[in-house]
Structures are given as C-alpha cells and as structure tokens.
Amino acid sequence: MTENTLLPLSFPAVGRKKITAAFDGGRITSDGGVMLLAAAERRLQLADRLAAVIHDRRDPERVTHAMADILRARIFAIACGYEDANDLDRLRTDPAFKLACGRLPDSGIDLCSQPTCSRLENLPDLRTVIRLSWVLVDLWLSSYAAPPASVTLDIDDTLDVVHGHQQLSLFNAHYDERCFLPIHIYDAATGRPVAMILRPGKTPAGKEIRGHLRRLVRRIRARWPTTRILIRGDSHYGRAQVMAWCENNAIDYLFGLPGNKVLQRLVDESADDIRTRRALERKPVLRGYAETRYKAKSWKAERRTCARIEATTLGLDIRFVVTNLDKGSAEHIYDVIYCARGQAENLIKMHKSQLASDRTSCRSPIANQVRLVLHTAAYWLMLTLREAVPTTHHLRNAEFATLRLRLLKLGARVIETVSRIRLAFAAACPEASLFRAIASNLLPTGP
C-alpha cells in the first residue's frame, strides 16, 4: 500500500491550469537502473562470496534476511548513492530494490532495515574481516581469464577524516585533521581495486608496508607464480625495508625519492647543462633527465636513481625516483612509468567522492574495515557496469557519478501481476538504447 502522509505540493499554473503534486504515485521507483547492478552482481556472485566467509550465528528458524541479501541490499544502495545504512529504512520498500535483491515488489517481504545492516557491520571479528578482504583480492585475480605476463600495482594512502572518537584515529599534522589513512591498491592496467586496508592516521612505516605487500604478493603468487609484479608508489613507500624485500623476492619497484644535497650534487652537472641551455635558447622551460647510483645511510647497497630536471625562469625543479628496473632510459622510467601513477589518485578520488568510501564512522576499526569492503564491492559493481558499455559509446570511460545519473537514476513504474513483473520506464529516456545494450551484455552466458 502507498503511504501518503504529506500534503500536496503546489506549483505555478500553466495554461490557466492549477498544478498540484503529491507522493502518491504508487509503485514507482527513482532507481530503476538498479536492475543493471543486479545483473552485474549476479555475474560476479559478489554478495554470495562475501557472505560465505561470515559465520552467521543467528537461529536459522528465525532468520528473515539471509546474510547475502543484507550485503546485496547494502551494496546496491551504496552504488546508487545512498551511502548511509539508515537510507535503507526507506529503500527497503522500494520495488526496484526489492526486485534487484530477488524479492517480489508487492507480495514479497521488505528488505532489511538500518539496525540489521548495522548489526552485520559489527558482526565480523578480525579473522573474518581479513577473509572478506581476501574475497576482493580473489575477485581481482579471477577477473583475468589467464595469468598476465606482468601487472603493475599502484599503492597509495588517502585522507579519511574521522567523524568522532573512533579507534585508530590520530591527529595528522600534515592534513591538520584527526583521521585514518587507509591504503588503497589498484591494478594500474584496468583500474580494478585489489586491496583496501584501514589503518591509523599516520604515515606508514617500512615494516608495516612490507607486511601488507608480503601478504598480498603471497596470495598473488599462489595463483600467478610466473607473473612479473611491479609495485609503484610515492616517496613514503620507498622505505629501505620495502625495497630490500622486493629485491629478495624478485619484485620490481618504482618509488618516489625525496631530494637532498647528496642527490643534487650527483646530478649537478646535468642540471647545470639544462639550466645553461635554457638561458641560451631563451626558452620559458626546458626539461631533461639524468641517472645515477645512490646509497642512503639506511640502505645496504647502491640503487638506480633517475632524476627529472626542469629549468624555468624561476629556477630549477628536480624530482627523483628509485627503482630496480634495469631497462629503459631515465626519461622512460620517470615520464612513462612513474608519472602514470597519477591515475591511481584519480581512482581514489572517485572511490571517495562518488562511492563515499570514507564513510567510516563506526567506533570499531573492524566495523569500519567492513564498511570499506562494502564500498569497494560497490566499486566493483560500477566498474562491471561501465565495462558492459559498448566500446564506441561516449560513456565507456565515464566516471561513476555520470553512470549513476544516466543509467541508475531512472524513474520506472513497477507492475506485478499474477504471472509476471513489468518495469515501465519513461518513453523519453535519453539512454534507452544504451540501457538495452548493457542489459543484453550482462545477461548470463551459460544455460
């Protein structure tokens, strides 16, 4: 039944006819495109995979909402822009969301409410939340039909401002905020998320980074024993412990390196040449590259260091990177390989601003890690939806917010009869043909 407790709205008359409006249209949804997310989730089996590693201690005879159904509803809501669990208090009766979760829009029972979602977020213990994270890693590994010859993993952390006195929150002087600094790891070639790790609001130490990478690489090697792995990150990931571990385990690395007087002295001849040529040629800017061997006090051996030197009318700007890659010029190492790391920052921004991965307002860090897993699962659904867009379409590389606006936020009337369910979308929908194409692409290929 339609609940109508609000008074009608009034708008200015048009053609001498009075205009009124009320929220009494019946079984109409504003998120008809959630059915595309349901098709993407059915392909990935994401909710079932996550639910399989959570021990459900509830009495089976008294369970109304299965663990997979709770996860599915929460992930769909996040992907559609409803990042808070209490949004489900209203969405639980939405006909499209009920259909997407496998329930009949009228005769089926409503979806779970906010308290049920909150209990789920606080249910897993530390071992369970680790298994949930491995589900996402395995999902990334399974996204390749065959082990790739090489893979580049971009690692970076991001500011996650706390909303209260959560455990693990620390004051970070660089950001001037109490925060978490979760680590995000992405596959550079595909933009797919690999691992998301909630951690305190301080710069990670070398021992901590080495531990995270060791566990991740062990998981990858179990499936891809011959794949060449390149770890790429900015300067505070280029710790002595990390580089030594990579060298001992046949892992390639490329990290930013803070400049100092010793490094500048090593490339001073090249820098002076670039600065002089810029002045003689009267160019506003001139860029060059240099390569040297450098050993910091905490390093046990010299390592290859590449420098990007840029001379302008304001002076010199020199940036350094350190790597164990033995092929490629300094220009190729810096401009082609290292600078491509900037795409990971765009992925993190999209994860945060468009899927609200920083909505970590639980007190317990384990519950906040569960939330990070759920928001990353929503990332997977949106990525799968985008990959189903035809390659020639202009939305093939669109951001998630654009896909949500054009494909998910579609009004539809949901009609349930004895023998079928019908979704009636607007006849003037601008993306009707694209919607059809994506739905066809996401159909199961098996029997």
Query: Which region, left, alpha or beta, applies to residue 191 given φ > 0 means left and ψ of -120 to 50 means alpha?
Result: left
Q: Residues 21, 23, 27, 32: is their CA dihedral positive or negative?
A: positive
pLDDT at 164: 79
Residues 149-160, mean pLDDT to the nearest whole number: 96
Instruction: Give the count of beta carbons closer than 10 Å to the beta carbon of residue 361.
Output: 13
Proportion of the chain above pLDDT 70, given as a percent? 98
pLDDT at 1: 43
Strand order in the sheet with 412-416: 28-29, 412-416, 421-425
Specify whether the CB–CB gap between 300 and 244 falls below 8 A. Answer: yes
Find tokens 């390639």 and name the residue.
252
Q: Residues 282, 287, 292, 296: is their CA dihedral positive or negative?
A: positive
Determine the distance from the C-alpha atom of residue 389 to the mean position of all C-alpha atoms in its chain, rounded to a whole number. 19
Determine the Cα–Cα distance for residues 36 and 34; give it in Å rounded to an integer. 5
Q: Which residue has the higher pLDDT, 362 or 10?
A: 362
Query: Over 60: is that where the pLDDT of 167 sits?
Result: yes
Determine the Cα–Cα distance for residues 74 and 57; give it in Å rounded to an integer. 20
Span 264-299, pLDDT tens digits: 999 999 999 999 999 999 999 999 999 999 999 989
Query: Over 90: is that where the pLDDT of 132 sits?
Result: yes
Query: Over 70: is that where the pLDDT of 447 sits?
Result: no
The model's pTM: 0.92
Local confidence band at 446 (pLDDT 50, 70, 90 cut-offs): low
Q: Could you write out the DSSP letters of every residue in 415-443?
A: EE-SS-EEEEE-TT-TTHHHHHHHHHHTS
Among candidates 283, 287, 288, 290, which has minimal Cα distance to 313?
283
Specify whether the CB–CB gap between 232 and 155 falls below 8 A. Answer: yes
pLDDT at 15: 86
Q: Residues 124, 96, 347, 42: is their CA dihedral positive or negative?
A: positive
Query: Over 80: is that where the pLDDT of 49 sits?
Result: yes
Query: Over 60: is that where the pLDDT of 4 sits?
Result: no
State the chain's mean pLDDT as an integer. Answer: 92
Query: Over 90: is that where the pLDDT of 23 sits?
Result: no
Span 189-245, pLDDT tens digits: 999 999 999 999 999 999 999 999 999 999 999 999 999 999 999 998 999 999 999
Local confidence band at 50 (pLDDT 50, 70, 90 cut-offs): very high
pLDDT at 27: 81
